[in-house]
Structure formats: C-alpha cells, structure tokens
Amino acid sequence: MTMPWTLSACTALAESRGKRAATVDVRQLDSAWQLTLVTTDRPGLFASVAGTLSSFGMDILKAEAFSNRRGLVLDTFTFADPMRTLELNPTEVDRLRATAERVIAGKADVRELLRNRPKPAPPSRKARIPARVSFNAEASGASTLIEIVAEDRPGLLYDLASAISSNGGNIEVVLVDTQAHKAIDVFYVTEDGKKLGPEKQEKLADALRRACQPS
C-alpha cells in the first residue's frame, strides 16, 4: 500500500510542476485515498478541488493547505471512495487527476461537473437537519474556527468553501465528518493573515446558511 506524502516527496512534487498550471497526484492509503496538488494560490482553489472530488462521488474526510512566500500552495485532500470507483477502475484515477488539473487551470467548469452528478434521494422530512453555523476565535492562535452542521448533500463542501472564498476568507485547514445525512464541517479561516472580526463573522454566517440550502 502506498504511504502518505512526506515533506521530501511534497518538495519533489513542487519541483516537478515546471511550467504546468498544477501538479496533481492521486494515491491510495491504507483506508482512504489522497489527492495532493501544487499550484499557484488563488481565491476559490480549495472549493474547485472539493467540487471536483464531489463530482466523482468521493467523500472528503480531511483537507489541509500550505502556502509559501512565492505564492505556491500545497493542498492535500484525504477522501473516501464509497463506491470503490478508483479501486475497481484504475483508469478513473488518471481521469480524476486530469480533471483536477483542468479545473485548476480554468479549462473545466466544476459547477458543470457537479451538475452532471446523479442526485441521491433526499432524507425524509422527519430526518431533515437545520443548518447551524458557529464561530470560535479562541480555538486557534492564528485563525477563526467555523463549524457548520447541516444536511449533507453532493456539492455541499464546494458551496461552503465557495461562500468563504467569495467573502474574502482564506481556508487554512478543513475537517469533515458525515453521520448519515448530517455533515459536520470545520474550517480554520483567516482574512489577510488575521482572525475574522465580528462584522465579517456575521456576514459570513449569513452566506454559509444560504450555502447550506438544497441546490
């Protein structure tokens, strides 16, 4: 089984990028899969990759982003493949990698990819989960923790990440948990390298609640 990325391996991946818009690697771990990418940082990057994975039917478990002073970003997405699509169809690994590179380069529209994904049956009315958004400025010394509890659906993480990015937030770390139809997503977010102020929190809370609505 392939091992997770080490620091030296990530450095080699960054150096291999050359003139390409992005370098993307997809590999299987012991109990999940991992997509690692190196590209130039830009607003909405995390949302675009999250949407790409969602369009393939993958469930994101965790994601981390690291950037340097040159504007390069190293993003790592750990995800589950509930239908074993990648394991049973090795060519899908290459297609996922190529699709992610096209999305990052702006040559493919992630919204169109999500639109073509089959929609699962919605939960019953009794199982509906009202959206809840909360902020914690003390959980981290450098960023604001945002926890969203909402009814899970395809593309939810993409919509939440897009709402954060479009409102000026920079996503540092994401932790994702899904229980039946309930999604619990935790974002560590900064704005201009600082924690979010009260006014920004209020504005972002409204945007995130709207993003939680069925698409």
Considering the domain boundaries, does residue 179 fall inside one? yes
Predicted pLDDT at 117: 74
Do 110 and 137 belong together in one domain? no
Burial class (CB in 10 A: 0-12, 13-18, 19+), 6: exposed
Mean pLDDT, range 3-15, rounded to an integer: 51
User: Are 33 and 49 spatial neighbours (Cβ–Cβ below 8 Å)?
Assistant: no
**Residue where a domain stops, chosen among 115, 141, 159:** 115
Considering the domain boundaries, does residue 122 fall inside one? no
Domain that holds residue 147: 128-211
**Residue where a domain stops, chosen among 71, 87, 115:** 115
Do 84 and 154 belong together in one domain? no
The pLDDT tens digits of the residues spanning 160-177 come to: 999 999 999 999 888 888
Do 91 and 153 belong together in one domain? no
Do 16 and 83 belong together in one domain? yes
pLDDT at residue 35 above 80?
yes
Q: Is 149 helix (H, G, I), strand (E, B) or coil?
A: strand
Considering the domain boundaries, does residue 123 fall inside one? no
Give the pLDDT band (50/70/90) at residue 5.
Answer: very low
Predicted pLDDT at 110: 93
Give the pLDDT band (50/70/90) at residue 22.
Answer: confident
Do 156 and 90 belong together in one domain? no
Domain count, the chain: 2
**Residue where a domain stops, chosen among 66, 87, 115:** 115
Considering the domain boundaries, does residue 136 fall inside one? yes
Considering the domain boundaries, does residue 121 fall inside one? no
* Tokens representing residue 139 in the block: 């959980």
* Tokens representing residue 56 in the block: 């393939």
Considering the domain boundaries, does residue 95 fall inside one? yes
Average pLDDT in the chain: 86
Considering the domain boundaries, does residue 2 fall inside one? no
Considering the domain boundaries, does residue 120 fall inside one? no
CB proximity list for 54: less than 8 A, separation 6 or greater: 60, 114, 117, 154, 155, 157, 158
- Say if pTM beats, i.e. exceeds, 0.85: no
| 171 sits in which H/E element | strand 170-179
Q: What is the C-alpha separation between 200 and 115, in angstroms, rounded?
A: 30
CATH of the domain at 46: 3.30.70.260
